[in-house]
Amino acid sequence: MTPILYIIIPCYNEEKVLPLTSSLFLEKLDELIQKDIISSQSRILFVNDGSKDKTWDIICSLAMQNEKYTGISQSRNRGHQNAVLAGLMEAKNHCDITISIDCDGQDDINAMNQMIEEYRKGSEIVYGIRSSRTTDTLFKRITAESFYKLLNWMGAEVVFNHADYRLVSSRVLNELANYKEVNIFLRGMIPLVGFKSTGVYYERHERLAGESHYPLKKMLALAFDGITSLSIKPIRMIACLGLFISFMSFLGVIWSVATQLTGKSVAGWASMTSIICFIGGVQMVCLGVLGEYIGKIYLEVKARPRYIISDRTSDKKHDAEIF
Ligand code: UDP
Ligand code: MG
């Protein structure tokens, strides 16, 4: 039997690019249906992430034009990860497989054929991996590649050069639904679920229109979230640093007693001040990292909803039929 596919597309202020890419996604879906690779019940599911422009209106009019387009809207902007999660959770009961992809046309939609092929061969998760980053600016390439290296080094295991373009089966999604954390980093969480997985390589293009919503500040925030949500290595590093500093201080004590006893205790103000400043600085950094984890625990304990869906295109259609 051919699987039902849902393509999950997060959209935040994408009025410029959505009219261009939505038809490309539909062409792809139709092609896959015609080739009998996927079921005709397959859909394109847009997730409006609290956009402030006309994105939601565009999604609603697409849904009116063609039943293969559907959409949900988050009650406010919650970020890319939450938007993808909302889409995946919405889709999981209606389909056999999902493919999440950005709406800006950067990810090569032709890689979907191979992804589904890998699913047919038995993989439940297929990661879309960029084969090169030649279309990125040097700055983006360097920051993004160091991002993956830093994440892995810090203990958050992620697939190198894989963003959020991936096929995930509904079986995996049903298990993912049991991961209740509110600090979500899907790239790190999905490998934790397990199941047979593989990768598919693709070329990443430039954005078709509009601008990136991931400036350096957001990328750093994502990296920091990724590390602190998936690993406690930074806390261990603090403990090691603490031990090292204690050892150095112990040597310092011996040294100061020795200089006192040998009668050479002349004004050591400069060295004293620098040691105090250094230790003060290190302590502040360590407190900051600990605070970050405590903050995360606080958020998890509150267990607030991870996304709130305020509208669905299916409701609108229903309304239109009634009136
Ligand atoms: N996005 C989102 N919520 C946000 C920021 C981005 O849903 O708060 C979506 C955006 O519409 C796009 C995808 O996430 O489909 C990736 O964003 P973008 O292309 O800006 O990031 P980049 O590719 O530059 O890393
Ligand atoms: Mg993009």
**Which sign does the torsion angle of CA 165, 166, 170, 171 carry?**
negative
Q: Which residue has the tokens 């606080």?
A: 298
> Strand pairing partners for 200?
128
Q: Which residue has the tokens 């350096």?
A: 216
| Ligand 1 pocket list (CB less than 6 A) | 10-12, 14, 49, 77, 79-80, 83, 102-104, 106, 212-214
Choose the residue to mutate in 24, 213, 219 for probing ligand 1, maximizing ligand atoms within 8 Å of C-beta.
213
Cα(87)–Cα(309) distance, rounded to whole angstroms? 10
**Distance from the alpha carbon of residue 48 to the mean position of ligand 1, in angstroms:** 11
Q: What Å distances lie between residue 32 and 17, 37, 40, 41, CA to CA?
A: 23, 5, 9, 12
For the chain, 323 residues long, give each residue's pLDDT as a single digit of tens.
Answer: 889 999 999 999 999 889 989 999 999 999 999 999 999 999 999 999 999 999 999 999 999 999 999 999 998 898 899 999 999 999 999 999 999 999 988 888 999 999 999 999 999 999 999 887 666 777 777 877 887 888 778 777 778 788 889 999 999 999 999 988 887 888 888 888 888 899 888 887 777 777 777 777 777 887 777 778 777 778 778 878 888 887 887 787 788 778 777 876 666 766 777 778 778 777 877 888 888 888 788 777 777 788 888 888 888 665 655 55
pLDDT in tens, 85-129: 999 999 999 999 999 999 988 888 999 999 999 999 999 999 999
Going by C-alpha positions, the residue among 89, 72, 44, 10 that lies closest to residue 305 is 89
Supply the residue whose CA is at minimum distance from atom 23 of ligand 1: 212
Q: Which ligand does the CA of 215 lie closest to?
A: 1
**Distance from the alpha carbon of residue 190 to the mean position of ligand 2, in angstroms:** 21
Give residues whose Cβ lies within 5 Å of ion ligand 2. Answer: 102, 104, 106
Q: Which ligand does the CA of 103 lie closest to?
A: 1
Supply the residue whose CA is at minimum distance from atom 1 of ligand 1: 80
